[in-house]
Chains A and B, each alone.
Chain A
Amino acid sequence: MKAPEGVRIALMGNEAIARGFLEAGASVITGYPGTPSSEVITSLHEYGVSSEIFVEWAINERVAFEIAYGAAICGARAAVTMKAPGASVALDPIVSSAYGGVEGGLVVLVADDPGPHTTQTEQDDRWLGFLAKLPVVTPSSPQEAKDLTVSAFDISEELKLPVILRTTTRVNHTVGEVLLGPVRPPKRTAGFVKDIPRFVRAGMSWNLERHRWLNKQLDIAEDVFDRISPVRNTVEGSGRFCVVTEGAAYNYVREVVDELGIEVRVVKLSLLFPPPRKFLTEALDGCSDILVVEELDPYLELVVKSLLKDRGSTARVYGKVSGSIPLEGELSRGLVRRAMTSLLPGTPSSAPQEVQPRQALKVPPRPPPMCPGCPHRSMYVAMLIGISRAGYKRGEVPVFGDIGCYALASQPPLEAIWTEHSMGASISMAMGAKVAGFRGPVIAVIGDSTFYHAGIQPLIEAVHKRVDMLVVIADNSVVAMTGHQSTPAWSTLESGRKARPVIVEDIVRAVGVDYLEVVDPYDIDKMINAFERLIKQPGVKVLVSKHPCALLEARSRSLRRYRVIDEKCTGCLACIKVTGCPALFYENGKVSISADDCVGCGLCARFCPYKAIEVAGNE
């Protein structure tokens, strides 16, 4: 990624965007981890950047955006990365930023996830254009991702507006060849010019004036885009049948058109907001039938329909509203082919090689499990036992979960959490149940990084309103699920920066909870005991379940291994049923432990009724 200009290398879309940040001379780069956006910043950390460039994870997307915005109004080039729900977290400052605008270029990467593969909803952030009134651009390949990132900074500086670089998983996580461009020196602040009407949103007449300014900027956005961006809105082919598309969907359209060998007009948009009306008017001229191929919502379809309506066109428009393209899920070449051939008489709907017998052999599903030795597993096992020792049935104590690895406990055999909603919602939703009159105990489970991100204010709320609940902070000292990024508890960051650790327990104490206890979940009996006591105790109780992520710990400490004594194992499967640990497997009537996977947490040994699992030695 540090190769010089003119070199072609294979880059993942996210690495290409990271390279684009460097080529554009961004000097402040921040964000919050979230699939499929995380590798932009992790790859910059991996390859290392000059000390002139600030590249750090922020506590959440809102703070990240505000840091980048602060840098950009001081003239620096800044970038911020997030997944789709992160854009919602940052929405308040994003919307206001359209009124103040920027001096240095500011690019906001928002990665949507059609499918969805790893996101709670199929949120479509192209609407951010209409909502926040900010330009939105989108690439269709790693090369375009790199090039469009660079021009997004130039467009941002020209329009004095933040630009949203909106991607989808199949661009972020696609590896392809990228021709590199020159790296510009990082553009840092040249000073902050005081301009109260521009940057103070407390004056209503100022706000009205800035809104007028904003609309004027949007009026010229299409021209500025055309002048600056080498990644253009394009028309390929000709004919009265036209396909309008953008981003990853364009690639399917291109392949299907090539495969069918038909003459159609393919209109690809790279500027999504403001809709490039001049371009579209010309591109769609003379079309009788228009198929809009896009992922997530019928965004372009509505744009095209409104444009045609204004022009009095009678062209027919097909897409998600007409049912030609599904409203949910990810597109594929097959879906695009079917949509296109159903509108083009005489074209075959599937290629001959695609006809395959349906899969006949049923294989068991393989949802992602918690890793062997995961401290969250031990915590949950202790929780479930603690609930019953306290005299409740499992189904009587709602467990409000949160976002992170520990949500994997929704899978069998634990099935421990009842909700997983949005960052930080565990504590506030548990509070909602209590204030609505739920009589029994409630538990909220939140990870350390999710607590920093959005859990502190809900905890203040629960303490302040004197709500009875047990809050478990599953503290593994890392943002584990997205690839082990730093948390505010770290003293040395990925970049090498020395930081002041901000510790979970210190925050909890300062909030004024009724009770705080820190327990290592590997000490399973102590943990069971803590749950049994705290479930019944009144007030806001916080139980910090503290143990490093097993994957990281396995790299740094020598491991204890466990083995099954064959003569003692009766094949009762208690170990598997209680823990669901992936290192345990059942073969020929006995349980075995995979030596490659076991990290020696000892949870299975604790629950073997026949004492058939013992320490095999240290490594």
Chain B
Amino acid sequence: MGSVKELNIVITGVGGQGQLFLSRLIAETFLRYGVPSMIAETHGMSQRGGSVIVHVRVGKDVRAPLIPEGRADIMLGMELIEAVRYVGYVRERGIVLANDKVIVPPGQQVKIGRDVLIDYLSSRPIRLFLIPSSSRAASLGIPLSANIHMFGALVAVLELAGVFDAEVDSLVETLLPRRFLAQNTAIYRLGKEDLKSIVNPASLAEIQELFS
């Protein structure tokens, strides 16, 4: 695999969407490749239904667990409102993988539309990839595994960037939850395919530039 000096990934979403597990999956995968990583988790009040941001920092030079604003290379947005809230963490030309899902905060009658959120993200100096993690998870009968679809999409990006090699799949499959392993393996692979299917030559060049 390619060398990683410093890779910053923010994971955002709504408490209960599995951001903590997703962060551990990423850290464990890099650890198996011999690359250290750190995670700053959010616990307590924001666990269920609150706004959640988790910082994952990968690489030999990393000391502090928090990613400074404007310094994340990749955002994994499990929900569109939360992706917009924290998009300031993403650096210029950074990558945003956004789950195509809106969870309206409870009690809010102000309607903020999906299209407004997507238009805004698209207007930023970042590369947006919109992926159907929640609907894929629902159709496979494992609604809580949208995070694993998202993980698949991230692994695809890191493969295209040359950070991971083809070995990664057999490694990842040992890290997925034992419960519903077949479905979780399927949705992981689907996440990879879904991401690769929307990458065009221009965006591929941008991904590779990010890691050059």
Are B44 and A170 neighbours in the complex by a CB distance under 8 Å? Answer: no
- Best-surrounded residue of B40, B44, B69, B82 (most CB of chain A within 10 A): B44
Find chain B residues with CB under 8 A from A36 CB: 43-44
Which positions 59-77 of chain B face chain A at CB distance < 8 Å?
A: 61, 63-66, 68-71
- Identify B40's interface contact among A174, A369, A413, CB under 8 A: A174
Query: Which residues of the other chain, A, contact B44 by a CB distance below 8 angstroms?
Result: 35-36, 117-118, 481-482
Q: Is residue B41 within 8 Å, beta carbon to beta carbon, of the partner chain?
A: yes
The residues of B that contact A585 with a CB separation of less than 8 Å are: 104, 106
Bound state CA distance, A189 and B110, in angstroms? 62
- Tell me, in angstroms, the Cα distance from A412 to B109 when the chains sit together: 12
Q: A175: CB under 8 A from chain B?
A: yes
Counting CB contacts under 8 A, is B132 at the interface? Answer: no
Nearest Cβ on chain A to B4's Cβ, whole angstroms: 14
Residues of B within 8 A of A117 (CB): 42, 44-45
Q: In this assembly, does B27 line the interface, its C-beta being within 8 Å of a C-beta of chain A?
A: yes
A117 to B44 CA separation, bound complex (whole angstroms) = 8
User: Most chain-B Cβ atoms within 10 A of its Cβ — which of A258, A359, A413?
Assistant: A359
> When the two chains form their complex, are residues A368 and B109 in contact, meaning their CB atoms are under 8 A apart?
no
By a CB distance below 8 angstroms, the chain A residues around B40 are 170, 173-174
User: Which residues of B from 27 to 74 have beta carbons under 8 Å from A?
Assistant: 27-28, 31, 36-51, 61, 63-66, 68-71
B104 to A355, Cβ gap below 8 A?
no
Q: Which of B86-94, B159-167, B178-186, B188-196 contacts A (4 or more CB under 8 A)?
A: B86-94
Bound-state CA distance A175–B30 (Å) is 13
Complex interface: chain A residues within 8 A of B46 (CB): 368
Q: CA–CA, A581 to B36, complex, Å?
A: 41
Are A586 and B104 in contact, with the CB atoms below 8 A?
yes
Q: Is the CB of A363 within 8 A of B107?
A: no
- CA separation between A176 and B87, bound complex, in Å? 25
Would you call B19 an interface residue if the criterion is a C-beta within 8 Å of the partner chain's C-beta atoms?
Answer: no
Interface string of B77-104 (1 = CB under 8 A from A): 0000110110110011000000000001
| Interface 0/1 of A575-619, CB less than 8 Å to B | 011001110111000000000100000000000000000000000
Q: Which residues of A contact B111 (CB under 8 A)?
A: 586
Q: In the complex, which range does the number of interface residues on chain A fall in?
A: 35 or more
| Cross-interface CB contact of A356 among B66, B70, B112, cutoff 8 Å | B70
- A363's partner among B42, B84, B109, B143 (CB-CB below 8 A) is B84
Whether B116 is near chain A, meaning CB under 8 Å from some CB there, is yes
Q: A520 on the interface (CB 8 Å rule)?
A: no
A254 and B14 alpha carbons, distance in the complex (Å): 32
Which chain A residue lies CB-closest to B72? A353
Q: Name the residue on B nearest A414 (C-beta).
A: B107
Q: Is B23 an interface residue, CB under 8 A from the partner?
A: yes
CA A456 to CA B200, docked complex, whole Å: 66
A354: CB under 8 A from chain B?
yes
Task: State the CA gap A483–B44 with chains docked (Å).
Answer: 8
Please report the C-alpha to C-alpha distance between residue A255 and residue B5 in the assembled complex, in whole angstroms. Answer: 13
Q: Say whether, besides A251-B63, A353-B71, A364 and B82 are in contact (CB < 8 Å).
A: no
* Cβ of A303 to closest chain B Cβ, rounded Å: 23
Some 18 contacts from A to B, beta carbons below 8 A apart, are A35-B44, A38-B43, A118-B45, A170-B64, A175-B24, A175-B38, A248-B65, A258-B63, A334-B68, A353-B91, A354-B70, A361-B84, A363-B84, A363-B112, A368-B49, A371-B48, A585-B104, A586-B109
